[in-house]
Structure 1
Amino acid sequence: MTTLGLHHFESLLTNQMQLIIKERTIVCGRCSCGGCAEMKNFILGFFAATLIALGTYWSISDHPSGKPSPAKKAPLRYHCPMHPDYISDKLGDCPICNMRLVPLQEPPDTVQPDGPPGSQSDGSSTKISQDLPGYSSVQINPEQQQMMGITLGKARVMNLEKVVRLAGRVSSEPDNANSIPAKFAVSVRELFASSEFQHINKGDPILSMTSQEFTAAQADYLTALTSNEKPSRPDSQTATPERSQLDSARERLLRWDVSPDAIAHLERTRHPFPAFIVRSVSSGWVSNLAKPGTEVTAGNILYIILDLSTVSVLGELPEMDLPFVKVGQPAEITFNFKPGKIWKGTFDTKTRTGKVKVKFPNDSPLLMPNMIADIRIRCNLGKGLTVPESAVLATGERSVVFVAQGNGIFEPREVKVGSRLRQLYEIKQGLTAGEKVVTAANFLLDSESKLRAAPVNHGRQTPPQD
């Protein structure tokens, strides 16, 4: 019974008493006996005792401890929804993100009239985490869990396999490249190979060139040939100087890769070649051709013939993957132009700077140097404890998971993570096999946990330092 109800009841009793006395006065108004006065005193005493009894009952039932009912209202404080650590006693904007401050809930350890310590108006409860500062355990009923979309996953022990992926570029093997230098100063006149990395056979023409030295060598040969045709004396016992000069000029042309057929043609026509045609010394893919009009000095490269039966893919490993890769491990190479086709290779070289080389046989004429390839190297790491990747919240300073303790209680726990494997994280410390962790909506639990732990952080008003 409230105070207002008690006063109303007291007023009703008083009015009823006055009516009774008035009726009694009307009935006995003509007599002068003392019975009416005694009856009036009896009625007044009865109603007074009734009022005292009701007041005592109300005091005992509504205030068993003798303390007043309404609790003293705490001063209203405000916090930032995005930065729960920032708390202010004045309404305004967050100095970190300029977001509008919102009223802060009562501290979870405050005794409220409608529930036990730590209970919330929405049916959830909070327990401050002692091992993880700034976080608190949160208890959420099943209906709220379903609305938030919370899902769970188990920490499992399994075989760990890390797949290292990197991009690479096809390169020819240095031992399979045949570089052809110019044997005398030339000027490139025309190219017969139309494109870079064109396949040619041995003896195919590659380019033509002109050279003053080549023209002079042809003239010397024709002069020696004319001199050699003069009749010699019958008593000559040794080779004539003209014969020796002819042989020397011929050897000079042969050293410059002039074919015997070309020399025979020169002997028949007695006309020097205006340009010298260079022919391939072997079969393969031509590369690094000198461009028309280029002056090439003796010893510089005219062209390169590549043997692409075996090629390499050169790449660069991320620093975090260097410990997992060993020389001799099998590797898989794929190309975008050939989906589904996998080339098998071997991890051949690894440098301290992370540069790697994967060598593999080339059974396709489509693979050319400088093509971009995708490399996959599978590394077996043995057995380990894993959780789904979505279960781990990385804050920058630590990694946190929420562990389901039963009865709707979720405990924040710091873990030490190892390798990231596909869609899993290896857990080095902080969990045991079989424990259930939150895998979806854990960011909502993270915000709620920080929010409920914020009021006990000494009411800090200073923005957190980065």
Structure 2
Amino acid sequence: MHMERRRLRRITLIAAAAVLMLGTAGLTWRWRTHHAGSAASAGATYYCPMHTSYHSDKPGNCPICSMKLVPLTASPAAGAPSPSASATGMADMPGMTPSGSAPPAGGTPPESAAEGPPTIQIPPERQQQIGVKFAAVVLQPARIEIRAVGRVAPDETRIAHIHTKVTGWIEDVFVNFVGQPVRKGQPLFTIYSPDLVASQEEYLLALRGRRELKDSPFSQISEGSSELLQAARRRLELWDMTPAQIRTLEATGKVARTVTVFSPVSGVVTERAAYHHGRTVTPDLDLYTIVDLGRVWVLADVYEYEMEHLKVGQAAEIELPYEGQPNNLAGRVTFIAPFLDPKTRTVQVRMEFPNSGQMLKPEAFVNVRLRRDLGPRLVVPKDAVMDTGKGQYVFVDKGEGYLEPRPVKAGAELERGRIITEGLREGERVASAANFILDSESRLKGAFEAMGRPQPGTAATAASGPKLRIELATSPSPAKVGKNTVRVKVADPQGQPVAGADVDVRISMPQMGSMAPMEAKATLQPETAGQYAGEIEIPMAWTWETTVTVRKGGQVLGTTRTSITAR
């Protein structure tokens, strides 16, 4: 009995709560309807962007959601908010439409806006508040500057490898450590070689024969002695005996047991194998490597897109990355590699620089600057160009607050600007600051992806390709929040209706801040030949991205992208 009473009491409480909730909802609905109607009839001037049915003749907050009321601008339907305002809900930025613009206060946007990307409008006072600045498109002499990190390397044409041309043994070593500077003609080491000793003896023998037979009455004997002497001398020269050593041999008439080997170049020893007394040497042994650092190479990697600005003979400058050394050393480009590095997509550029004071050390890093004059070019500030990944755009000042996002082709970056190769004319003004505020990242992507679409809120006519003509309309027009009828006409290029097709309409809204993305879909049914209709539920007031897809036999015949604005 006690349990039955408790159960009955619980049921009674639940029923009372349900009645209370229904009553509250009814009163709220009546209050909203009454105030909306009275506000509209009284000439309301403010509305809630989230609850568009609420209007007020005074500024303040919405009593339903506490959102700030925004001014109601004139629209085709009396008492209804403007499409741009109700579709976006940007109540925190009064006077701006979905892409950050203000609705035109009389008149129409410039003609180019209707033909190209959607033009936005921001009042001049608002431009000043958000920091919009403009700069003129100027035709000026342009100089491209390529910056890269270079590495100093020895000039490979100034590297000498010291070998002997005979087999022998080292006696004395005069240059005995790596890094030691040497001068041309400086002694390096002495070598004992039986071949050199024998060649000296042959030369002395030929020399004595020449002296004795030069006055012979037989010309053949006299000429033969001269030829023998020349051949013996030539052998000594080929084995790298110097003219001074040969003259000493002639003057003394004595064979030198060891012969001194001299450096043929000036430079620095980078490798050494002539280590000690008694080492056996052969012609294939590299005894010394001497590098002349009076001129060096600088190797730099330049990106693929900068290759067009490079040429052999081009002037080059380098800066040393440490203090206390002179900067702006001048050189020139002597070689551009004929192939790219497949991993880094760069090409190696070789430059030559004088290095009389040996200030540039091999393997040191330097900052490289390559400049090239390009002649007169159209130039805008660097910040004026916005790159979306799909294209490049600038905001062109069309006057009276109108800003046109115009696609351009941008060239190389200069020190204080960027070259424009297509899309602008000299004298036009472009926004050079606060571009990210003019169109935030999400707005920018959405607007640029929809370039060329019909203006929001109008019936869309867009062919997906050469196959179909697709027209979309809504009833009511403009659409409202809730259920709407959508009608699509499909015709072939000759205008003949396309019957028996499957037509889908999908509307979507991207994620906005903390608000999750939304979408709705409707499958249309045939109404008449080539015309299809169906109902779609629009969740809220917005300009919805709309995609119409036409299929037949499981294959897509065509699609079109447009927009539906719901109030």
Normalised by the size of structure 1, how large is the TM-score?
A: 0.56
2:409 to 412, 416, 425: 416
C-alpha distance after superposition, 1:60-86 (max 9, x if no partner) = 997399xxx9999569xxxxxxxxxxx
Q: What's the CA shift for 1:200?
A: 1.6
* Structure-to-structure mapping, 1:323-402, within 5 angstroms: 323-337=308-322, 339-353=325-339, 354-402=347-395
* Structure-to-structure mapping, 1:39-438, within 5 angstroms: 63=41, 73=51, 113=79, 116-119=82-85, 121=91, 122-126=93-97, 137-140=120-123, 142-143=125-126, 145-146=128-129, 148-185=130-167, 192-193=174-175, 196-207=178-189, 214=193, 278-282=261-265, 284-291=266-273, 297-337=282-322, 339-353=325-339, 354-438=347-431
Structure 2 residue aligned with 1:459: 508
Alpha-carbon contact 1:184-1:299 (below 8 Å) kept: no
Q: What's the CA shift for 1:198?
A: 3.5
Alpha-carbon contact 2:141-2:375 (below 8 Å) kept: yes
Query: Relative to 1, partners in 2 of residues 1:313 and 1:118: Cα closer, same or farther, differing over 3 Å?
Result: same
If you compute each CA radius of gyration, which structure gives the higher value, 1 or 2? 1
Q: What's the CA shift for 1:261?
A: 11
Q: What's the CA shift for 1:206?
A: 3.1
Q: Which amino acid aligns with 2:508?
A: G
C-alpha distance after superposition, 1:143-180 (max 9, x if no partner) = 5642x333322222111110123333444545544432
Q: Which runs of 5+ in 2 are unaligned?
A: 1-36, 54-69, 100-112, 205-230, 340-346, 451-455, 458-505, 510-516, 520-544, 546-567
Alpha-carbon contact 1:123-1:140 (below 8 Å) kept: no
Alpha-carbon contact 1:311-1:360 (below 8 Å) kept: yes
Structure 1 residue aligned with 2:494: none
Alpha-carbon contact 2:312-2:334 (below 8 Å) kept: yes
Q: What's the CA shift for 1:394?
A: 0.9
Q: How many residues align?
A: 350
Query: Relative to 1, partners in 2 of residues 1:187 and 1:345: Cα closer, same or farther, differing over 3 Å?
Result: same
Alpha-carbon contact 2:182-2:269 (below 8 Å) kept: no
**Percent of residue pairs identical:** 28
Cα distance in structure 2, aligned partners of 1:390 and 1:458: 35
Query: Relative to 1, partners in 2 of residues 1:324 and 1:290: Cα closer, same or farther, differing over 3 Å?
Result: same
Q: Which runs of 5+ in 1 are unaligned?
A: 1-58, 76-104, 226-247
Q: What's the CA shift for 1:193?
A: 3.7
Query: Relative contact order (alpha carbons < 8 A, sep ≥ 6): 1 or 2 greater?
Result: 1
Query: Relative to 1, partners in 2 of residues 1:343 and 1:74: Cα closer, same or farther, differing over 3 Å?
Result: same
Structure 1 residue aligned with 2:439: 446
C-alpha distance after superposition, 1:429-456 (max 9, x if no partner) = 2222233322222112221844996997
Query: Relative to 1, partners in 2 of residues 1:71 and 1:329: Cα closer, same or farther, differing over 3 Å?
Result: closer
Q: What's the CA shift for 1:382?
A: 1.2
Q: Which has the higher strand share?
A: 2
Q: Which amino acid aligns with 2:298?
A: V
Compare 324-333 and 153-162 and name the one that shifted more. 324-333
Query: Relative to 1, partners in 2 of residues 1:131 and 1:389: Cα closer, same or farther, differing over 3 Å?
Result: farther
C-alpha distance after superposition, 1:356-379 (max 9, x if no partner) = 333344432333444444332321
Query: Relative to 1, partners in 2 of residues 1:200 and 1:434: Cα closer, same or farther, differing over 3 Å?
Result: same
Q: What is the RMSD of the two structures over their aligned residues, measured on CA atoms?
A: 5.4
Normalised by the size of structure 2, how large is the TM-score?
A: 0.47
Query: Relative to 1, partners in 2 of residues 1:278 and 1:451: Cα closer, same or farther, differing over 3 Å?
Result: closer
Query: Relative to 1, partners in 2 of residues 1:111 and 1:340: Cα closer, same or farther, differing over 3 Å?
Result: farther
Cα distance in structure 2, aligned partners of 1:328 and 1:319: 19
Alpha-carbon contact 1:190-1:292 (below 8 Å) kept: no
Cα distance in structure 1, aligned partners of 2:248 and 2:269: 26
Q: Which has the higher helix share?
A: 1
Alpha-carbon contact 1:166-1:317 (below 8 Å) kept: yes
Query: Relative to 1, partners in 2 of residues 1:123 and 1:169: Cα closer, same or farther, differing over 3 Å?
Result: closer
- For residue 299 of structure 1, give the secondary structure of its aligned residue in structure 2: coil
C-alpha distance after superposition, 1:11-39 (max 9, x if no partner) = xxxxxxxxxxxxxxxxxxxxxxxxxxxxx
- For residue 125 of structure 1, give the secondary structure of its aligned residue in structure 2: coil
